[in-house]
Each structure stands twice: as structure tokens, then as C-alpha cells.
Structure 1
Amino acid sequence: METWIAVTLAAALFQTLRFALQKRLKQAGLSAAGATWARFLWSAPAIASAVVGWILAGGAEMPPLTGRFWAFALAGGVAQILATICVVMLFSFRNFAVGITLKKSEVLQTVLVGWLLLGETVSPAGFGALVLGLVALLVLAEPPGPRGAGRAVKRLISPSVLLGLTSGAFFALAGVAYRGATLSLGDGPVAFRAALALALVTATQSLLMLLWFLWKDRAQIRLVLQAWRPGLAVGAASLAGSYCWFTAFALQNAAYVYALGQVELLFSVAGGALFFGERLSRREVFGIGLLALSLVVLVLVT
């Protein structure tokens, strides 16, 4: 098994666990932004300490931090913050597995972001996979109630669809930007470049969100600090998952990494049943299956 495949599978597993823990944080009274900040706040010190120790032990040399690196790092960091907030908000509208499925539109949107930023194109078969993925999202977003006029419009403008697609767009931008940031650090060991990029991005995200709370919602700072026990669990899961994602992005194209990350769909279904006692309707199972199929096709044709 290639290294990028193994670390991507691990990243998907840790990410599913982290989203489940963040849902618990939101249920405990934290806002979507507070639950998002917890993942950065409690993971930043650990990864920073590891990188400093790595350098002091002589395991790696500090590469130059160019303007290109910071442009990618900041774009990815801000996009990831916004994407995570959207996902946590989305859990208020749909159950855990469906929320994760809508978020997985990132796979399809990464192809578009890659084309816009890097000039990469998709084949006709790849475009067919995108269309199939859109159909799957519409199936998942179908609001409850009788069929009738205006049904299709409601599918497109429902909060769950808008939040899911928005989070997917921001995650797509984050993935492409993180790959650019890691590649901008030169030709050193992949493991160190991934750790360094992650440490700098996470520290920046923690600081940016702290400044936001100091300006807009100081009470949320106290709530996040009081929830330090579950916050540490979120931070640990976030650290493990993020390091695996950064390593995968350093080794492989972001679209391929996100496409393989579709295994998170299976983890989310299991997580929803295990942690929240959720059951999917037949329509939701069908929609998840369609989206999974579109991602498989995307992997095969790109």
C-alpha cells in the first residue's frame, strides 16, 4: 500500500472522530465557532512542541518561509476555519452521517478549485462524476413533506445544502492551499514539512480566532476554556487527523486525497449509529450511495 493511501485512510478516521467530538461540544453549549476554535487551541501547543523538539534534536533543518508559503498557508487556514464552522452548524439541520456526506462535496469541488488555481482539467467521464455527485446531493437535501410545486427550489436553497456546499468549497480551497504550502517548503523530509506547515497554520488559526472572540464574543473564550476536557480530546483527534491530511497533501494531488477520503462516509454512518443512535432513511442511504459512486468514478477517471 502506498504511503499516501495509508495516511489518507487514517486521516478520514481521525476526522470522523473529531467531528463527532465537536458535535458533543456544540451540544454542551459552545457555538459553532467555539467548537471550531477548540480543535485549534488544544492541538497547536502539541504540534509546535513536536516541531521545535524535532529541530533541536537535529532531525531536520528549518526551511525558509517564503511569501508563497504564507500566501498558501493563510488562505488554507482561513478557509478551513470557515469550512469547519459550516460543518458544525450543519449538524443542527441534519443528522451526523448526512452532514458529513454533504460536506464531502469537497471532493467534487476540489477539481474545480484545482482547475481555477492550477489549470488542471477533468475528462468527460470526470464531468459525469460531478453531475452524479450533484444529483446525490439533491437527493440528500430533499426536505421533508409532500411533493409539490417549488420542491426543486427548496432542495437548492435549504440550509443543509447551502452549508454543506459552502463547507465543501472552503475545504477544497484549504486542501489545494495546504498542498501548495507544504510543497513551498522545499525538498526536505515529507514528515517534517507536513509537521512544520501544520504547526504554523494551526498557531495562526488559534490566534486569528482568539482575536475574533476578543472583538465579538468574549464569553465564548471562557466557555471553551471551561470545556477543556472534551476540548483536549477534540484537539488530539484534530492533531492526528490534520497531520495525516498534511502528509497526504505533500505526497499526492489534493483531488486524489479527498477522493480516497470518501471512506469517511462509512466511518460517519458507523459513528452516527454508535455515538448518537441515528438511523438513516432509505432515501438517505440511496443518496449516500450515489455520492460514494460519483467519488469512485472520479478516482478511476482522474
Structure 2
Amino acid sequence: MSPWFGLALIAALSTAITDTILKGALSKLEPGEMALVRFLAPLPLLLPSIFLQDIPRLDFRFWLTLTSLVPLEILAMLLYMKALRMSEMSLSIPMLAFTPSFIVVTGWLILGETVSTRGFWGIMSTVFGAYLLHLTPGKSGPFEPFRALLNHKGSRYMLAVSLIYSVTSCLGKRAILYSSPLFFAPFYFSFLGIIVPLFFSLYWNENALNRLGAKFVNGGIRMWGAVISIGILQSIMVYSHMLSISLSNAAYMIAVKRTSLLFSILFGAIFFKEGPLLPRGIGGIFMLLGVYLVATSK
């Protein structure tokens, strides 16, 4: 097994567990507050590691790419947390399977990476998987799942996240090429962990900040345990993601990382009693097949 493949699987599992903890322990927070936790929690583990290595020379291209990434990351995370908070994991998270299909276009535009027409069948398989995912037993009509997808806000939000991630994945790889994977991984997410709180402090008024502080003061061991776990898991995800994508084609790496959708469907059924499990599980498999076809096209 190639090193990048194992690293991508680690990133997938870390992501799915993080989402499960966020939904189970922190879903009473507002989407912006949940996003703040996700950005801030890994900061104590990531920031010190920046100074334990040689810092590469960073030119104008790096800073321009970084400036392009940050607003997209904030927007994507707000939509992500909103979808996670308001909908079932097994319906919203699998929409991220569309990211490799979008990367067929964004990877070509940003990185010059191309895939063959085999990717078309991968896209079709992903769309069919999304169809099955929203198939509800007892409801008639071949177009009912598409209506359900259009009417399901959580799925729509996550589909938008998938599109944004297809851009940020390619921009992130370009930033790695302008620096180094071991530097960029902790630097970028530490940078977000500093910038995002500043952004929200400008957006929120004093009362909102006081309410957020009170939630954490009164949250007890359960909330703080969740925050610490998210910090550890996100740090693992960051390093495994950046190392993996630096060793492989961006579409290939994101394809393997999207196995997190199957973990999310399974965790949703186990911890939150989400269902029906059968059509969602089969839909997830078709979406994963689509991811594979896109990733292995040449």
C-alpha cells in the first residue's frame, strides 16, 4: 500500500470521528461557534511545531495563494457546521463525495491536472449514489429523491461545501508546492486558528461573545473533553492530509479521504439512530465507487 493511501485513510477516519463528536456533543452551539471550535481546538498542538523545523522561503505566490484560501475556508466551515447541526450526518456528509468530481474541473484550471473521460462514469455513479441516499421507502415517483435533495437544506449546504473544497484542495496543494508539506500543514491551520477568532470577534457583539464564554464555562467535562478530542483529531487530520496530497494527484487523495462518508453513515446509524440505513449505505457505496472511478481515471 502506498504511503499516501494510508495517510488519506487516517485523514478520513479522523474527519468522521470529529464530525460525530461535533454533532453529538456540541450541536447546541451556533454554526459559527462550532466552526470556531474546529479552527481553534488544534492550535495548541499545531502552532509549536512550526518552530521545530526550517521555515522555507515564502514568496509572493505563496502569500497570494494563502490570501485566496482563507475566505473560502471560513465560508466552507460555516456552511459545513450549519449542515452538520441541522441535518442527519448520513444525508449531509456524503455530499462531500462530489468534491473529486468538481476537482476534475478545478484541478485542471488551477493545477493543470487532468483525468480521462472515465471520470464521467465516476460522476454518474456519484449522482446515482446521491439519488439512493435520498430515497425514502414508501414514497413513490422516480424524481422524489431529487426533490428531497433540493428540499434538504443540509444536503444543499454540504454540496456547496464540496464545491468550495474542490477549489481549496487545489489551492492548498499549490501552496505546498510554494513551501513544504511539513511547514504548510501546521502553519496554515494555525493561521486559521488565529485569523478566524479575530474575524468572529469583529462580527459578533459583546453579548454574543459573553454568551459563548458562558456556554464553555458551564459546559462541564463533556464539552471540554469534546474540544480536546477535536483538537487531537484535527491535528492528526491536518498532517495526514497535507502529507498525502503532496505525494499524490489531488483527485486521487481526496477520493480516498472521502471514504469518511461511509464512516459517517455508519456512525450516524450507530450513535444517532439515523436511517433508513440500507438505501443510504448502498448510496454511499455508489458515491464511493464514483470517487474511485474519478480518482483512477488517467
Equivalent in the alignment of 2:170? 176
Letter in 2 for 1:47: L
Is 1:39 equivalent to 2:38 in the alignment?
Answer: yes
CA distance 1:8–1:207, shift in 2 (3 Å): farther
Q: Secondary structure at the match of 1:259?
A: helix
Q: Secondary structure at the match of 1:91?
A: helix
- CA contact 1:30–1:223 (8 Å) conserved in 2: no
Is 1:132 equivalent to 2:131 in the alignment?
Answer: no
Q: CA deviation at 1:265?
A: 2.6
Is 1:207 equivalent to 2:198 in the alignment?
Answer: yes
Q: CA deviation at 1:92?
A: 4.6
Equivalent in the alignment of 2:78? 85
Equivalent in the alignment of 2:99? 106
CA distance 1:149–1:294, shift in 2 (3 Å): closer
Q: Quick one: distance in 2 between partners of 1:149 and 1:267?
A: 28
CA distance 1:89–1:61, shift in 2 (3 Å): same
Q: CA deviation at 1:244?
A: 1.5
Task: Normalising by structure 1, report the TM-score.
Answer: 0.84
Runs of 4+ in 1 over 6 A off after TM superposition: none
Q: Quick one: distance in 2 between partners of 1:143 and 1:87?
A: 24
1:1-302 aligned within 5 A: 1-27=1-27, 29-52=28-51, 54=52, 60-142=53-135, 146-148=139-141, 151=144, 154-155=147-148, 157-158=150-151, 159-185=153-179, 190-214=181-205, 217-219=208-210, 221-222=212-213, 225-226=216-217, 227=219, 229=224, 230-302=226-298
Q: Quick one: distance in 2 between partners of 1:153 and 1:297?
A: 23
Q: CA deviation at 1:34?
A: 0.7
Letter in 1 for 2:12: A
- CA contact 1:43–1:235 (8 Å) conserved in 2: yes
CA distance 1:157–1:144, shift in 2 (3 Å): farther
Q: CA deviation at 1:20?
A: 1.0
Letter in 2 for 1:20: T
Q: Quick one: distance in 2 between partners of 1:149 and 1:298?
A: 26
Q: Residues 168-192 of structure 1, C-alpha deviation per residue, up to 9 Å, x if partnerless?
A: 112222211211111111xx5x434
Task: Say which is worse superposed, 110-119 or 237-246, in terms of deviation.
Answer: 110-119
- Aligned pair count reads 292
Q: Quick one: distance in 2 between partners of 1:284 and 1:216?
A: 41
Q: Which runs of 5+ in 2 are unaligned?
A: none
Q: Quick one: distance in 2 between partners of 1:116 and 1:224?
A: 44
- CA contact 1:11–1:242 (8 Å) conserved in 2: yes
Q: Which runs of 5+ in 1 are unaligned?
A: 55-59
Q: Quick one: distance in 2 between partners of 1:49 and 1:214?
A: 31
Q: Quick one: distance in 2 between partners of 1:84 and 1:142?
A: 27
Q: Quick one: distance in 2 between partners of 1:212 and 1:103?
A: 28
Q: Secondary structure at the match of 2:296?
A: helix
Q: Quick one: distance in 2 between partners of 1:216 and 1:258?
A: 40
Task: Say which is worse superposed, 268-277 or 35-44, in terms of deviation.
Answer: 268-277
Q: Quick one: distance in 2 between partners of 1:174 and 1:44?
A: 20
Letter in 2 for 1:35: M
Task: Normalising by structure 2, report the TM-score.
Answer: 0.85
Letter in 1 for 2:233: A
